[in-house]
């Protein structure tokens, strides 16, 4: 029996999806500081206990929303490492740019990292949220790391290429710009970054 | 006349330095959430008005403390770009590791980004703090960018090397590890990272 009645509401496999969709909608409307667990439960049509059993705080729920957003970014190995890395990083740039604007009016010169910085701070403040964020990134980053491993295995990358360091450099550049320097992502940032890191800086 | 008496205290050129030293000490002892402007003024031996005239909130003051810490990291152009980048990044890694632990007990498996994440969030939340953080990094990053420019000018880096992207990749990798994945900086992380980015990933 996979369905049990709780407080008159059916518990079905779509409950998680409904909660995450409601949380994302409310985040978009209200922003991080002004969305509440009670409203999420109400909008998703679930009992508060159902919500809190899955995600004990709004920080945990935000991490789950981010995981969902990340899982919607496909990672495909076409055999062309440059193409695949550019596609992946461009999707990360677009996703982070949406996420940072969550709950705030769109103004052209806004350089705040918004929700991305709030999640970073929540992860630093609460050990269990930090654990959840790190587990999320370990799981997701395995995909681009596998792209790099596979390119090295077929001889497209140097034998001494280090996927872990290369991925830190590529993803790190994007997060650094967003969280620290606030520089906008002009033109074809993802492609230019990938080309620099693949080509290397040293004169031959 | 450069010295004026305010509430019986002399205003001298060491006032900023005393305030910043007191703020850093209190941050180390209490951490970000539990240090207060009043205590900083008391410990520095300055009137509250003196403190607030310079830095209107504790967030502004933290940014000034971070600027001071960063300015204590020397950036030297020895003519060996690998050496200079490794030295610089190793100092950044050490400085960030100290800063993230501010106000928290030292435990070996602590992977929180601590104060670094709090500053990131404060910059995202308050436009003027964000402006101050971005100005600080623009000023400081000009130094390693000049190292890269100079290495390109003397032919040690490729003519099409992009200092801005290379620096994003190098500094970004360090911040990404600290703020997002929480991976520790094992072994000789700075040297291995610089070698990967200088060598490039693509097979020749």
pLDDT digits 0-9 by tens, A115-130: 999 999 999 988 999 9
Between CA B55 and CA B39 the distance in angstroms is 14
ipTM over cut 0.95: no
Between CA B26 and CA A32 the distance in angstroms is 29
Measured CA to CA in angstroms, residue B117 lies from B34, B96, B140 at distances of 16, 11, 19
pLDDT at A67 over 90: no
Which residues in B lie closer than 8 A to residue A125 (C-beta atoms)?
112, 117-118
Helix H or strand E segment including A24 = helix A15-30
List the single residue in B with minimal CA-CA distance to A183. B134
Specify the pLDDT at position A5.
44
Of B87, B93, B81, B73, which is closest to residue B166 (Cα–Cα)? B81
Distance from CA of A21 to the nearest CA of B (A): 24
pLDDT bin (cut points 50, 70, 90) of residue A66 is confident
Which of B80, B83, B150, B180 should be substituted to probe chain A, the one whose Cβ sees the most A Cβ atoms within 10 Å? Answer: B180
Distance from CA of B75 to the nearest CA of A (A): 19
pLDDT at A142 over 90: yes
Phi, psi of A90 (to 5 degrees): -65, -40
Specify the pLDDT at position A103.
81
- Which domains can be identified in chain A, with CATH numbers? 13-54 (1.10.10.60), 67-199 (1.10.357.10)
Pairing of strands A9-10, B9-10: unpaired
Which among A113, A156, A161 has CB closest to B120? A113
Tell me the whole-structure pTM to 2 decimals: 0.89
Put simply, the answer to whether A113 touches B125 (Cβ < 8 Å) is no
pLDDT in tens, A176-190: 999 999 999 988 999
Which among B156, B162, B201 has CB closest to A203? B156
Strand partners, B5: B10
Specify the pLDDT at position A71.
84
pLDDT average per 10 residues of sequence, chain B (204 residues): 47 82 91 90 96 93 88 90 95 90 82 92 91 93 96 93 96 96 92 94 76
Specify the pLDDT at position B81.
95
Between CA B85 and CA B167 the distance in angstroms is 10
Specify the pLDDT at position A36.
93
Both tokens assigned to B119? 């500053």
Between CA A76 and CA B153 the distance in angstroms is 39
H-only helix segments in chain B: 15-30, 37-44, 48-54, 58-71, 81-100, 114-125, 127-153, 163-176, 189-199
DSSP structure string for A50-92: HHHHH-SSHHHHHHHHHHHHHHTS-----S-HHHHHHHHHHHH
Specify the pLDDT at position B68.
86
pLDDT in tens, A71-116: 888 899 999 999 999 999 999 999 898 888 888 877 878 999 999 9
Specify the pLDDT at position A43.
96
Average pLDDT over residues A139-164: 94
Neighbours of B109 (CB within 10 A): 6
pLDDT at A160 over 60: yes
Specify the pLDDT at position A88.
95
The string over A172-187, giving b where at least 16 C-beta atoms fall within 10 Å of a residue's C-beta and e elsewhere, is bbbbbbbbbbbbebee
Specify the pLDDT at position A188.
94
Specify the pLDDT at position B2.
43
């Amino acid at each position: 029996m996979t369905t049990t009645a709780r407080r008159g509401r059916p518990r079905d496999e779509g409950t998680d999806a409904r909660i995450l969709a409601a949380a994302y909608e409310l985040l978009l409307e209200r922003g991080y500081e002004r969305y509440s667990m009670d409203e999420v439960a109400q909008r998703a049509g679930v009992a508060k206990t159902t919500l809190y059993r899955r995600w004990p705080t709004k920080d945990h729920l935000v991490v789950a929303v981010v995981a969902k957003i990340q899982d919607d970014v496909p990672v495909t190995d076409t055999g062309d490492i440059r193409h695949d890395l550019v596609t992946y990083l461009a999707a990360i740039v677009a996703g982070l740019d949406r996420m940072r604007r969550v709950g705030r009016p769109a103004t052209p010169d806004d350089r705040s990292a918004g929700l991305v910085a709030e999640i970073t701070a929540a992860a630093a403040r609460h050990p269990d949220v930090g654990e959840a964020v790190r587990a999320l990134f370990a799981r997701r980053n395995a995909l681009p790391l596998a792209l790099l491993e596979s390119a090295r295995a077929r001889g497209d990358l140097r034998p001494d290429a280090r996927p872990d360091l290369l991925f830190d450099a590529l993803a790190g550049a994007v997060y650094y710009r967003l969280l620290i320097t606030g520089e906008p992502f002009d033109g074809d940032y993802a492609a230019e970054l990938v080309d620099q890191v693949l080509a290397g800086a040293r004169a031959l």
